[in-house]
A = this chain, B = another copy of it.
């Protein structure tokens, strides 16, 4: 049991962070609004989880202007991809252990 838990990364414990990483795994880049719609969370909630993932180095942020409006786009880093895949593998092992 311990080995499953050790494989799970604390940074991905939250549902919202699992959702962010999943969304960024299948989309090269997503802006704040798209992520918000994907996950149906509040601005503050999404922003705080994005910040945490950015701090871990798991996502990258690109700020530009689209039609003179600021636009912030997020993408998964290589480190993030590796860590997220390892997390999903640990979850899979845990699920398998239950069957």
Binding site for B on A (CB under 8 A): 1-2, 4-5, 8, 10, 13-16, 18-19, 22-23, 25-26, 38-40, 88, 91-92, 94-95, 97-98
Contacts and interface: CB of A to CB of B under 8 A. Distances in A.
A54 to B, nearest CB: 19
Q: How many monomers of this chain does the complex have?
A: 2
Nearest to A2: B40
Contact of A25 (B4, B5, B26, B98): B98
Contact of A26 (B13, B15, B38, B98): B98
A22 to B, nearest CB: 6
A4 B88 CA distance: 14
Contact of A2 (B1, B14, B26, B38): B38
